[in-house]
Amino acid sequence: MNTVHNGIEIFGVYDRGVPNKERVVLRVTQTLNLANYFLIVGLAHENNIWPFNDSFLWLTNIEVVGPAWVFIYTGKGTPRVELEMNTKQPLHALYWGKEKVIFDKDISPALVSFGPVEIGNKPSKDLSMVLTPPLFPTAPVTNSSSPKNIDWVKVLNDLLESTKK
């Protein structure tokens, strides 16, 4: 197994395609915080993965004292910690919350660690020079946050008129 992260690796995917059992098993060999990691899912080919746009799971802010196991079930459930029955080491069970199973022989997970992050749309930057006007008119701005102050009929009529031009 190729380990690219210090102290954590994907041990395997078990019970692929089996509802309520399908899970990604991570092996943690040293103490670490799962907040630094996330899983993506994609089409696997050799040593590459082409990630799907909508399959990302942040592993939450949990300190795991290694050696330990992390089971990430693809279905729904309540996170818990117990002992893994063979090794008697801590087992952290997490749940992705998917309605259906997601893995088959070609679809695999990848473990990714956070690196430097660039936060977009910083208020300190003047975006007026690069932003283009919206393609569609926006709803009128009011001083009240109540939607009843917006004339939705007028907004929709304006939208229809703008598409005729």
Same domain membership, residue 34 and residue 79: yes
Do 26 and 96 belong together in one domain?
yes
CA distances from 55 to 38, 45, 84, 92 (A): 10, 17, 27, 21
Q: Are residues 153 and 87 in the same domain?
A: no
pLDDT of residue 156: 61
Q: Please tell me the predicted confidence (pLDDT) of residue 72.
A: 98
30 and 103 together in one domain: yes
Q: Are residues 95 and 143 in the same domain?
A: no
Tell me the C-alpha distance between 127 and 132, whole Å.
Answer: 10
Domain, as residue range, for 94 = 8-113
What are the pLDDT tens digits along the chain (165 aa)?
A: 455 688 999 999 999 999 999 999 999 999 999 999 999 999 988 888 899 988 999 999 999 999 999 999 999 999 999 999 999 999 999 999 999 999 998 899 999 998 877 777 666 655 565 556 555 555 555 455 444 556 666 666 676 666 665
Q: Is there a domain that residue 128 lies in?
A: no
What pLDDT, on a 0 to 100 scale, did the predictor assign at position 157? Answer: 64
Q: What is the pLDDT of residue 146?
A: 46
Burial class (CB in 10 A: 0-12, 13-18, 19+), 89: middle
Spatial distance between the Cα atoms of 130 and 121, rounded to a whole number of angstroms: 12
Number of independent structural domains in the chain: 2
- Please tell me the predicted confidence (pLDDT) of residue 5: 80
Cα–Cα dist 116/127, whole Å: 23
Do 147 and 101 lie in one domain? The reply is no
pLDDT of the residue at 140: 53
